[in-house]
Amino acid sequence: MGRTLLSLGEAAAALGVPEVTARRWARQGKLPAHVVDGHPRIYREELEAWAKIHRMAIEEAAERVTRHPVADTTLLGAMQRGGVHFHVKGRDAGEALRSAVAVAPLAAGVNRDALFERILEREQLTSTAMGSGVAVPHPRTPAFDFVAEAMVVTCFLDQPVDFHALDGRPVEVLFLLLNPSTAVHLRVLAQLGHLLRSEGFLEFLPGCESADALFERAAEIAPGS
């Protein structure tokens, strides 16, 4: 009986990480990839075994889409749901992430310690710092046991924190992504990436003084997202 071959894009979606991350892991030898017809591929069975060792869950695509309709998700809605928080404390990456989890508007009874551990595990795997003073932390696997809808918790840190960004610049703003499925995560991540790449947005961030100002700027740059 033949085994199922996945592309790196399919593997990334199953793991809940951006495709560029899966490609980097494969290049570094962290993922069990094989070259098939000139392209990197991963046997699903080997991916499942690798994910189990690294405590990463794999969801079926059909199940994700059925439970969490991607088309209904917008970046602005996720940002408004997560709120904007100023003067968030943290002397290092771990403290800043814990503080971000503490201010996240989660439902009563959510295990914040467990969520923090998931986010910290992801950060220890590779930095989520994007450069230019921004980081986009998130759990290693979909956060369906912590949130029912997409949430982006925006945190302006009380002091710059070293997240080991490639450009060497300490992080001043965290966009904590909490999403109920891989598909929703990839949609929100792509929309946020567009926002961060937009002309003038990174320059706008340090002087942002209110949630309304941030939401208005996001709506101007990415209407309908």
As annotated, the active-site residues are 138
Those residues with Cβ within 8 angstroms of residue 85's Cβ, 6 or more apart along the chain or in another chain: 100, 103, 153, 154, 155, 156
Q: Which residues of 66-86 are buried (b: 16+ CB within 10 A; e: fewer)?
A: eebebeebbbbbbbbbbebbe
Q: Where are the alpha helices (DSSP H) in the chain?
A: 8-15, 19-27, 44-53, 61-67, 75-82, 93-103, 112-125, 182-197, 201-204, 211-221
